[in-house]
Amino acid sequence: MFLLPIMLIGLAVGGYFVLKPPEQLPLSQADGIYANSCCGTLVLKGGRGTHGGAAFDYVIEQDKMGPFVLPKSRLVTVDDASRLVIVQDEPPLMLRLETSMRPQWIDIPGFGKSYRFARQP
């Protein structure tokens, strides 16, 4: 008689932990200018990123591997890593941050590998 309510509560609690969204972190954590010799600079500031005159919005989240930038648009290196493009009509990819409170690098996915953009002084 009491078993069914206990099972339902257990399922609800377990479902919350499985389905809860990733933890959002302060946007200021990734603020800075990041550069790579392949593609120039990427500027992140307060949830708005810019590169080569194009802009995108983002949030910062964390999963088991650490913090990452999740842009609203897809950022990817193209042409054998000669440039970085912002693609508005494709699902975004995670841009992995170095794990400190003031990340020193951000990895941007390319075709078959990622490219590390280092924080500039």
- Taking only the tens place, the pLDDT of each residue in 94-110 is 999 998 788 999 998 87
Q: How far is CA 27 from the centre of its chain?
A: 11
Sorted by sequence, the CB contacts under 8 Å of residue 105 that are 6+ apart come out as: 34, 97, 98, 116, 117, 118, 119
Q: Terminal CA-to-CA distance of the chain, rounded, Å? A: 65
The strand pairing partners of 60, in sequence order, are 25, 69
Domain limits, the chain: 22-119
Q: What's the CA gap between 50 and 72, in Å, rounded?
A: 12
Q: How many residues does the chain have?
A: 121
**pLDDT value, residue 86:** 82
pLDDT at residue number 104: 95
**For 29-74, how does the pLDDT look when each residue is reduced to its tens digit (9 = 90+)?**
899 999 988 888 999 999 999 988 888 999 999 988 889 999 998 8
